[in-house]
Amino acid sequence: MKVYILILITVFGFVGCKSKKESAEFFKRGNYHFKKNELDQALTFFSEAIEKDGNFADAYNNRGVVYLKLEKHKEAKEDFEKAIALDATFIEAKYNLAKLFSDQNKLPESEALFKDIQHKYKDSSDFMNHFGQNSIKMNKISEGLFALTESVRLDPQNVEAITNLGYVYTLQNENQKAKTEFEKALKINPNFAYALNNLATIYEKENKLSEAIEYLKKAEKVNPIDIIILNNLTLCYLETNSQSTAKNYLDKSERIAAENPYTIRNRGIYEISYGDAKNGINTLTNLEKAHPDVEYIYYFLGKGYLKIGDKNSACKHIKTGKTLKDGKSELLNAGC
């Protein structure tokens, strides 16, 4: 779970006018309602604090956190940036903005902020975890691995950092090490959905589909509308030839995120398996042009071309999958 920093107490060295006193009172009320998860009231009081004192950097930061919880990312970004503009040393606002930028895949901007405040957070497991995540997204694997390892050292109970560390091992095709990390996270928190999902992906790669589905169903109970979990369930049911269940999960995924590349991939697989294989091939071909990194795309293109009797095209895609070590094309005996 991503946590953003709320400033709960602000000490004024000198309060010189009525408006500042009123602003401080509104600020305290905003914090009170935020802690009770009464977000609309918190937003109102932080806004009142800003109206009374337009230079109140802490109020901008806290209102930004409320906006994030309300999923108003544009407004949150503007408030964090305003807080920093008012106080260039405001590290909590910089940290909040760095995490927001990372979530929005504004990775260089996020990295610059993380590095600017790193000296203040060198002993923070949470910071090292988020810095490590951002580094991995930038494909800076060594830097990310170091940060995540440090995060776990600082807090061995940080299940998010442990799970992220396991994810890095999957990127390095060290699946046994990854599995160890995911299992470690689940010993700490058996309901941590991301560890459940990631452990399931290891079992799927090992073709242990019943075990994969078992862990994915547990993850689904925690996050029933998480598109990653739903797409993984769809894939597993497609691979076990459970047409009806696969279709139910595919339909649900399309209602939530029809443009997600993995939702589109699963649509293509379903078409190849149970519909018009040529339509499925077209779906996957178009997806490959836009998102060639989608997992198993060449394997399923190979299967699709085999189904329509085009062995040359099938072999071309199977060989690409083998070259990329996609984990499945090696299993496809097409006589190429």
Task: Give me the sign of the Cα torsion angle 245, 249, 252, 258.
Answer: negative
Instruction: Give tens-digit pLDDT for 242-255.
Output: 999 999 999 999 99
**Domains along the sequence of the chain with CATH:** 1-87 (1.25.40.10), 225-336 (1.25.40.10)
Tell me the two tokens of residue 234.
């769809």
In degrees, rounded to 5, the angle at the alpha carbon of residue 96 between the alpha carbons of residues 139 and 82 is 120
Q: Which of 215, 151, 154 is nearest to 183 (CA)?
A: 215
Contact 209, 215 (CB under 8 A): no
In the chain, the amino acid numbered 54 is: G
How many other CB atoms are there within 10 angstroms of residue 60's CB atom?
A: 26
Per-residue pLDDT of the chain (336 residues), as tens digits, is 444 555 554 333 333 455 788 899 999 999 999 999 999 999 999 999 999 999 999 999 999 999 999 999 999 999 999 999 999 999 999 999 999 999 999 999 999 999 999 999 999 999 999 999 999 999 999 999 999 999 999 999 999 999 999 999 999 989 999 999 999 999 999 999 999 999 999 999 999 999 999 999 999 999 999 999 999 999 999 999 999 999 999 999 999 999 999 999 999 999 999 999 999 999 999 999 999 999 999 999 999 999 999 999 999 999 999 888 887 887 776 677
For 25, residues 6+ apart whose C-beta sits below 8 A from its C-beta are: none
Long-range Cβ contact pairs of 82-87 (< 8 A, separation 24 or more): 82/57, 83/57, 83/58, 84/57, 86/55, 86/56, 86/57, 86/60, 87/57
Q: pTM here?
A: 0.87
